[in-house]
A and B are shown apart, each in its own frame.
Chain A
Amino acid sequence: MRNSSMSKNDLILLFCFSAAILAGPIILAPIGAGYPDLLQKFAIFGIFALGFNILFGLTGYLSFGHAAFLGAGSYTAVWTFKLLSMNPLPAILLATLMGGLFAALIGFICLRRSGIYFSILTLAFAQMSYNLAYSVLTPITNGETGLQLRQADPRILDAALGRDYGAVLPSSDFFGIDMTGYPGFYFCAVILIACFFFSMRIFRSPFGMMLRAVKSNQNRMNYTGLNTRPYALAAFIISGMYAGLAGGLLAVTDPLAGAERMQWTASGEVVLMTILGGSGTLLGPVIGAGAIKYFENIFSSFNEGILMKAFDFLPESLQHIMVSISSLFVGEGWHLTLGALFMLIVIFLPGGLMEGFNRLRTWLGNRTGGGDGGAVPDTAPAPSVGGD
């Protein structure tokens, strides 16, 4: 494939990616997504999906338990806030480490099996974590309510530096910059870009080649006398660290960690994000994460009043018909749209949204005549995943 130094195309891709992310507040404003909380979620779940893609997209191991690492990261970060300092750096550092540690433990056991057996093992661990966090482990996790900051928390480092938050509940701040709102988004965005760069390096490295080989034919690899498990485990740990980091960032932008972050539906969500965007591609998972979070936050907010306004150019009777039809798909029906979207994407664009973009580009390229040399090629088109 390509050599491990940055190729020109990769540099362009990285640059465009960074520019697009940093300009997010402007680009996404017209579609109603240009507000800090959703932008933060885009960036954070982008990181989560990027990490998941390193495991699933490259090695083909389908984990159904990645939410456990996300949750572990969140709990670690909130505990760091409570015990050490409100500065996000120690929080995300420890969250990443905790994600990695958890992944090492669970991965070591689960990677003894492959295929669906591996998936169910990871699912079992995540569900056990969720069930325990919700009930028995309440002293650590604060159960259903979620782990919260208290004004009376010790915050040893802050106290040592003489920082006093007074009578109010502190929020995390990066050397004086509050981590809510746009500064919080830019903090996450910079980390997302770093993660994207790191993931790109892995894709292009001999290690990444090795992981792809694990996927395409593990038996053959084993016959050549190579033990593939350490490679798979390394990928598992890296993706666990991404998840821990994402969980930590969730706590940085909003210092509350709830057990439902570990539920199987949360694990399923990152699988869907990755496949929806295009697994095995660099950009796909980030796009998939954005798409799902957009649906969750924007489509669910449409109500009858908004629909009436949207269709008020129509005559009244027609307006009512359009509103009653479309209200099936938004507001309380937003799940329906999501489900239908999953089906349509998989049926018509097996490579996810990335394949859609590539097809569109090819089609446009053909229309303008001849190959389009200027476009930024992504990695090799998504190879088929998982099948037997």
Chain B
Amino acid sequence: MSKKQMSRRGLLKSSAAVGVTLATPTIFTSSAWAAGYTNEPKGKTVTLGFNVPQTGAYADEGADELRAYKLAVDHINGEGDGGMLSTFTSKALKGNGINGKKAVFVTGDTQTKSDAARASAKRMIEKDGAIMITGGSSSGVAIATQGLCQDAGVIFMAGLTHSNDTTGKDKRANGFRHFFNTEMSGAALGPVLKNAFGSQRTAYHLTADYTWGWSQEGSIKKYSEKIGWKTAAAVRTPLGAGDFSQYITPVLNSGADVLVLNHYGRDMVNSLTQAVQFGLRDKQVNGKDFAIVVPLYSRLMAQGAGENVKGIFGSTNWHWSLQDAGSKAFVKSFGKKYGFPPSQAAHTTYCQALLYADACQRAGTFRPSGVGAALEGFKFDGLGNGPTEYRASDHQCFKDVLVVKGKENPSSKFDVLEVVEVTPRAQVEYPATMLGGNLGPYNDGA
């Protein structure tokens, strides 16, 4: 009926959608290079979609991601001091936008909920014409958004997501991850824990009861048992439990001498604070000092645990105290603009934005399959993590992993962690087939 009154754009879109369905069998088998692709930038600008948590528990982390994105856009467009562009080994970006088009951006709120994140990403794709979506602060959201971007035919550059599944079981051709994962955390932590605590240890796991928590628990178990540790128990705790004391009291007399907290964000802050309150850090069991391990650290969140983090081991993707040229350039650029150092979330999202822009420039197009091909197997350096490779077979970045420890004598409120060891890439690498999943073909959309 009133379909006839639809706007021209709407009509075009819907008929195009029908057309795509009819053409589905052929579009992926034939070379579709001649056809357009989703949100092909036609004007003088190209729109990037930054989808970060702005409300909820990860709002501060999201705000930091957004700061980094704004910085990256400035640098891509040739404003500011250029940041890591000067240390980045690929020199394709000239500071005049991407493929000669000025980079602009739209923002959205994921609320750290899959539904909200997808709705927000869809808005950017359908309404604002975003060619790429990036951001996020949890694995559930990242996987959900990655699936959406695959369906819509745009590239997804994952933000902070640590679950193996993002580039394992749930990997997609259009999705790319710079952040590390639980497998790498486990592989990096294993030897360090052995050095620090010996091989005669019994670990007690408290695990956030959802996919990321299980993934983390599995990896730590795997590598701690490899160094001879025993696992006393692995107890699942509800997400957002707040008070974890009922799970900590059984640890006291369990005979275990290491507590592994497979928690992130607020859960980590609370469970760690409470474990220390229960005297676990100063406890002696079997003649050994009791130890607490937090496999995934977030400096931003660790501040919430205050002095409780002192001496506690964990891993992180990047830390602002690193002294390589790339990290220094980034910290300088970020600190100058905002007055405080960037978090690991800010770092990974900045890198992702830069890597995407660079790949477009090298490919000479924004077409997802073209950009993807430029990213696959891409080797680079100068972005703060040492020599890094975007592995073609699972779209996961492989680089050194940082093992860190809560600092005993922090010099400022940002100076919470110290780097204990930089685990070389070779030690954390695993075959892509190990985590399962299937990339499938690229989707360029229509």
Contacts and interface: CB of A to CB of B under 8 A. Distances in A.
Direct contact of A and B (CB under 8 A): yes
B122 A182 contact: no
A334 B53 CA distance: 12
Contact of A176 (B21, B108, B119, B212): B21
A143 interface: yes
A41 interface: yes
B34 interface: no
Contact of A332 (B10, B63, B211, B239): B63
Contacts of A296: 109, 116, 119
B336 interface: no
Interface in B77-123: 105-109, 113-116, 118-120, 122-123
Contacts of A331: 54, 107, 109
Interface string A141-153: 0011110100100
B151 A260 contact: no
Contacts of A310: none
B14 interface: yes
B126 A23 contact: no
B14 A37 contact: no
B139 interface: yes
A67 to B, nearest CB: 11
A290 interface: no
Interface string A327-351: 0000110110000000000000000
Interface residues of A, number: 55
Nearest to A256: B144
Chain B interface, >50% SS class? helix
A297 B236 contact: no
A26 B113 contact: no
Interface string B1-20: 11101110010011001101
A168 B21 contact: no
Given A168-B441, A178-B21, A254 B118 contact: yes
Contacts of B5: 23, 26
Interface string A120-163: 00000000000100111010000111101001000000000000
Interface residues of B, number: 63
B238 A22 contact: no
A167 B28 contact: yes
A7 to B, nearest CB: 23
A182 B10 contact: yes
A297 B120 contact: yes
The CB with the most chain B CB atoms within 10 A, among A35, A138, A180, A260, is that of A35
Given A22-B2, A181-B17, A183-B17, A146 B144 contact: yes
Interface in B202-259: 209-212, 236, 238-239
Nearest to B210: A144
Contacts of A34: 7, 10
A186 B165 CA distance: 35
A171 interface: yes
Contacts of B20: 178
B18 A332 contact: no
Interface string B37-66: 000000000000000001100010011000
A157 B14 CA distance: 27
A23 B6 CA distance: 7
Nearest to A253: B122
A169 interface: yes
A46 interface: no
Contacts of A173: 21
A146 B140 contact: yes
A226 interface: no
A315 B107 CA distance: 26
Given A144-B139, A176-B21, A134 B144 contact: no
Task: List the 3 closest A-B pairs by CB distance, nearest first.
Answer: A332-B54, A182-B14, A37-B122
Given A167-B441, A182-B14, 6 more contacts: A35-B127, A136-B209, A144-B239, A300-B120, A301-B123, A331-B54
